Amino acid sequence: MTATASHPTTDRWPELPFEDWKDTAATLHMWTQIVGKIRMVQTPWINHSWSVALYVSPRGLTTSPIPHGDRRFQIDFDFLNHQLLISSSDDKSRTIPLEPQTTADFYAQVMGALTQLEMPVEIYAQPNEVEEAIPFAEDEQHASYDAEAAQRFWRALLQVDRIFTKFRAGFLGKSSPSHFFWGSFDLAVTRFSGRTAPEHPGGYPNMPLDVMREAYSHEVSSAGFWPGGEQMPFPIFYSYAYPTPEGFSEVEVKPEGAKWNPDLGEFVLPYDEVRRATSPDQMLMEFLETTYKGAARLADWDIQGLEQTFRQ
């Protein structure tokens, strides 16, 4: 596939076979890390790294507005026109085509565009949460961009984000937005009990221990969507709790296709199970609700006090 602008698919829950686009996924992982790190260094820190994430937009992924002195700018991945748009509050902009190119070239273009806009930014210029952390300026390995596959991935994110946001609306307690973490390359939504948690042991590659411990400083029930990787080469929904309450792996969850994965320490539901369901919305919401309820019940959360009936 080339990176020329393609007609948007009308498939609400598109196919997303990992093997067909794994090189593009790996490249986008690096590109989103570059953009995410720009947001991270310019944005005031918000608990649990909420200030570093990207958000699903009507055209792709966005940083939302980022401060730079008394100006603001925003960076958007546009998976309809296949371009990266950098726009500022003083009506200046730069575009970078999303097309096959090395991560080194992409990095140079992004940082050069910010300098041209008189908003230079310095980042820690190598990736996190990957085994081989090649500095961005030296990365000739990740250079794939399949425009159709990138658009399918975003279309899947659109639907997942819609359901995650609805799920979040049913909780009165502290809850994250539905947001895209560029380190792990997944969309996630997290609920908190309000109680502190034991210190996290860490163990993630190229991930500072203090960041992990702050992220899991309080009890959570978290769910997400991950497009796949070498460890599990197909897209999945997942749900876990930290700390993991005793007996969580034995909780009865819905739908039937959801299984406990002992290697990951979380419940997993293949994306294809949801995509092919008569009602994907209902199936995904059942997974979110039953895994959360199981974790919250076993960990003795104040379930009644933390939930609300939300308006449709």
Residue-level pLDDT, tens digit, the chain, 312 residues:
444 444 444 489 999 999 999 999 999 999 999 999 999 999 999 999 999 999 999 999 999 999 999 999 999 999 999 999 999 999 999 999 999 999 999 999 999 999 999 999 999 999 999 999 999 999 999 999 999 999 999 999 999 999 999 999 999 999 999 999 999 999 999 999 999 999 999 988 999 999 999 999 999 999 999 999 988 999 999 999 999 999 999 999 999 999 999 999 999 999 999 999 999 999 999 999 999 999 999 999 998 888 766 544
The residue ranges of DSSP E strands in 23-131, in sequence order, are: 55-56, 60-62, 66-68, 71-78, 83-88, 93-97
Select from 158, 163, 129, 146 the least CA-distant residue to 269: 163
How confident is the model at residue 153, as a pLDDT?
98
How confident is the model at residue 231, as a pLDDT?
85
Amino acid in position 205:
P
Amino acid in position 148:
E
Q: State the number of CA atoms in the 13 A half-sphere of 261 facing the CB.
A: 16
In this prediction the pTM is: 0.94
What is the DSSP-derived secondary structure letter of residue 129? S
Select from 67, 46, 174 the least CA-distant residue to 121: 67
Q: State the number of CA atoms in the 13 A half-sphere of 154 facing the CB.
A: 28
How confident is the model at residue 168, as a pLDDT?
96
Q: Which long-range contacts (CB under 8 A, 24 or more apart) does 156-160 make?
A: 156/13, 156/14, 156/16, 156/225, 156/227, 156/235, 156/271, 157/56, 157/61, 157/187, 157/225, 158/56, 159/12, 159/13, 159/280, 160/187, 160/225, 160/237, 160/284
Select from 182, 154, 124 the least CA-distant residue to 58: 154
Give CA–CA dist 170/309, Å, rounded. Answer: 6
**Number of separate helices (H) and strands (E) present in the chain:** 7, 12
How confident is the model at residue 309, as a pLDDT?
60
Inter-residue contact 99 to 92 (CB < 8 Å): no
For residue 245, count other CB atoms closer than 10 A to its CB. 19
Select from 131, 125, 114, 8 the least CA-distant residue to 60: 8
Amino acid in position 180:
F
Taking each helix axis as running N to C, give the angle between helix 280-298 and helix 147-168, from 0 to 180 degrees, rounded to the nearest 10: 50
